[in-house]
Structure 1
Amino acid sequence: MKIYGLKTCDTCRKAAKALPGADLVDIRAEPLAEDTLRAAHETFGDALVNTRSTTWRGLPEAERAAPPLDLLRRHPALMKRPLIDAGGTLYLGWGKDVQAALAG
């Protein structure tokens, strides 16, 4: 199981702690593989972009209009976190629904 996020993100660290044996991959140091990025976008659509982040608020309006995949390639911290790959099934965020699905 892989958890894609940021090592400095509290939510990502909570997910990593709750899922022993999962690898936390810092997407700033090791960007998402293209196939993983595309699969995540196909699964979650524009919800993959965190429009509530400080990174988003710092972007000029013209750049915000770019396609989501281009934005995430240029600014990995814009991805909603964590993105969890559990044997090919993708989960986004660390809400109660994701926690329940991965707890068993």
Structure 2
Amino acid sequence: MKLYGLKTCDTCRKAKKALPEADFIDVREEGVPAELLSAALVRFGDKLVNTRSTTWRELSEEDRKGTPQELLTQHPTLMKRPLIDDGETLYLGWDKATQASLGV
């Protein structure tokens, strides 16, 4: 299982603590693999872009017009977090539904 997020994100820390066996990948340092990003965009669409983030607020209006793929490739910290890949299914966020699906 892989957990993609930011080491400074409180929600990611909670998920990491609840899933100690998961490999944690900091998207600020390592980014998101292109193949995984494409699969996540197919599954979650525009929901993958966190429009409430500091990174989003700092983007110009022109930059915000990019496709989600372009935005997340150029600014991986725009991704809603955490993105969890258990090898079969992708999960986005750390809500009760995700926790229940992962048996936490």
- Same fold per TM (> 0.5)? yes
SS of alignment partner, residue 16 of structure 2: helix
Q: Cα distance, 1:88 vs. partner?
A: 2.5
Shift of 1:81: 0.1
* Identity %, equivalent residues: 63
1:80 to 2:88 alignment: no
CA distance in 2, matches of 1:78, 1:62: 16
In 2: Cα distance, 1:88 partner to 1:36 partner:
12
Backbone CA RMSD of aligned residues: 0.8
Query: Structure 1: 5+ residue runs without aligned partners?
Result: none
Aligned equivalent of 2:52: 52
TM-score normalised by the chain length of structure 2: 0.97
Task: After the TM superposition, list the runs of 4 or more consecutive aligned residues in structure 1 that deviate by more than 3 angstroms.
Answer: none
Q: Compute the TM-score of the two structures, normalised by the length of structure 1.
A: 0.97
SS at match of 1:11: helix
Q: In structure 2, list runs of 5 or more residues that go unmatched.
A: none
Inter-partner Cα distance in structure 1 for 2:33 and 2:84 = 14
State the aligned residue count: 104
